[in-house]
Amino acid sequence: MEGLAFVFIGAALFSHSWHFLGLYPDGRTMGTYVGALGLATLIALPLTPMLLVGGDPDAFPLAEVTVMKMLIILWAGYAVGVGAQGLWDFDERAIGFYSAIVTAGSAVAFFYFAGTLANAYGDDVAIGMSAATLVLSLVGGMIFFYHAVPFIVLRLVAGWFTLVGSIAVAGIGFAIMTRLIEIN
C-alpha cells in the first residue's frame, strides 16, 4: 500500500512539475496525466500495508494504517484537483490553498511516523516513511507559496523542487515495493 501510493504520488508530482517548468504549455496534457495518476493512487487504499504489517494481515496496526490512508486520500484529492484545473482551466490559486491542507496533513504524518515507528518497526522503516512524508510536506509548502500567494519568481523554484521531490518520493516507494526497506 505505502510503496504503490508513494510511486503514484511521485509520478503525479513529476507530471505537475513539468507544467511548472513550462514544458507542458497546454494544461490539458498535465491535467490528463495528473488526474489519472490521482485516481490510480486510490487503488492503494484497500491493499494490505506492505511495510507496516510486513505481509502479516493479523498484525494490522490501525493507527499507522489510518494515518497512511489519510495521507493517500489527501494527495489523491490534490492530484484529482490539479487534473480538473488543467483539463477545465480553473483558477490555479485554489490549488495553492488546497496544498496548504495537504502540507499540514503531510506534516502531521511526518511527526507521527518519526515519533512512533522507530520503537515499533525499527529505524529503516521510520526513516523511509518519515523521509517520504517530509518531502511531501515540503513540496506542498512550496506549491502553496507559488500558487496561493502569487510569487511569480517562485515558478522555477517550485518546478525544480517538485521535480526532485517527486523523484525522491517515488524512489522511496520503489524501495518499499522491492523490499529494500522492510521490517527486520
What is the crossing angle of helices 62-88 and 27-41, to 10°? 160
pLDDT at position 80, please? 94
C-alpha cell at position 53: 504489517
pLDDT tens digits, residue range 118-147?
777 777 888 888 999 999 999 999 999 988
User: What CATH class has 2-177?
Assistant: mainly alpha
pLDDT tens digits, residue range 141-173?
999 998 888 778 888 999 999 999 999 999 999
C-alpha cell at position 111: 511527526
% of the chain exceeding 90 in pLDDT: 49
pTM of the predicted protein model:
0.90
Where along the chain do its domains lie? 2-177
3-class DSSP state of 180:
coil
pLDDT averaged over the chain? 87
The separation between the first and the last C-alpha atoms of the chain, rounded to the nearest angstrom, is 18
Q: What is the DSSP letter of 55?
A: T
pLDDT tens digits, residue range 73-114?
999 999 999 999 988 988 888 888 999 999 999 999 999 998
